[in-house]
Structure 1
Amino acid sequence: MPIFRDVKTYLYRYFLMANTFDPFVTIITDARSPTLVLPESIYHQYTNHVTINCTIVTREHRTYEVWLVKVVDRLQFDDGWEYFVRAEDIRGGYILFFERQSLYEFVVKVFTCNFVERPPQYRFFVEMKKTHVERARLAIPMSFWREHIEDQIHDTSRAILMCKGRRYNVPIIQGHGKALMEHGDCREFMDRSGIVEDSTCVFTLIGYECVVFKVKLLDA
């Protein structure tokens, strides 16, 4: 009977170890690198995998697809990593804490250079269509509007767009279930920012007296 108990204990511990996905921490030394090498401490769990399609989820529940690949004796995030870094404004010196939910699911927390977790970043993405560029008109997604703007910001009649060191004042026109940014400096914003058809822009909400967005072109 004691032997049986020992075997059960061993198998139980083995099962726990085999199904435990330890978190890991990495410091971003070069935010321009298209890949990220993962720590050796987790390699043993990926010995039978060469390429895995993974997801990285932020604290705000944005999800990114990134390929985890084995290169010689290293594991690294490859395709999709650079897009994640640019979209989430990850900078050199930042510390990323990854909690692994499984072999292919990662939840990330972002810490700035002073070891403080970065406050929530609320943003939306716009794939620029021909009509966006021609009409100099941009729609704020209504789900984003209701959750982060409608009842939280006093002045919703205008938006200030911050892009490439410039500031643009654009009226917000509401109606028919839409919130459109158009007129005012919108045409100038389009032209000076270098926005063209098929560009991808990230609008990050940074102001709460009125609607203020930091705008970044992912293709630039």
Structure 2
Amino acid sequence: MKIAFVCTEKLPVPPVAGGAVQLYISEILPYIKEQHEITVFCKRYPELSNNEVVDNVRYIRVPASSALRYLRNIQDQLDESFDLIHIFNRPKWVLDLSEKLPSVRFSLSLHNEMFSPDKIPPEKAIECINRVEFINTVSKFIADGIKQLYPMAESKLRVVYSGVDIKKFKTNWSDEGIRNKELLKKKLGIENKRVILHVTRLTPKKGPI
């Protein structure tokens, strides 16, 4: 299949400036590109080419002075040659991008509670749910929230948890993992301290820790 990935307007892919969605995309691309022809649409970034092919994946990076400008720049480059257009974390964009592409299938991935009424009006949310083939969520919590608001979405919801590359991260109970933990705690002077690891931004919207 010929698939377009439409990233959020915040940061580029690969995640040279960080970003959870951007990291997620970069980690799944090596697997998906083996079976499909992938084009990634993302934000333009000074250190990256505006249009390039890397490891059989095409990257098209467009200006994003605003979310609306970014969306229009992507609209200009999408056409009905794509079999599927997969949008990350922006359900309202499904309606904007699909309007002139009636024969193209659309799908959605959600990393946050983007179907809450303060994010998308209920009538637009229902239109989006009806238009997409499926909705991936990174947790059951996100999926359950959508289902509670819009029960008709249940058959389209798929929970796909973000994984961990065990080649990069050693388990806490392995010999190497235990050794690395002890060395790091000694280096930081916290050998006898209990440690809480919080892997996210420290912002109120992430909830209490």
Q: TM-score range by the shorter chain?
A: under 0.3
**Higher RCO (CA-CA < 8 Å; seq separation 6+):** 1
Using the size of structure 2 for normalisation, the TM-score is 0.23
> Greater share of strand residues, 1 or 2?
1
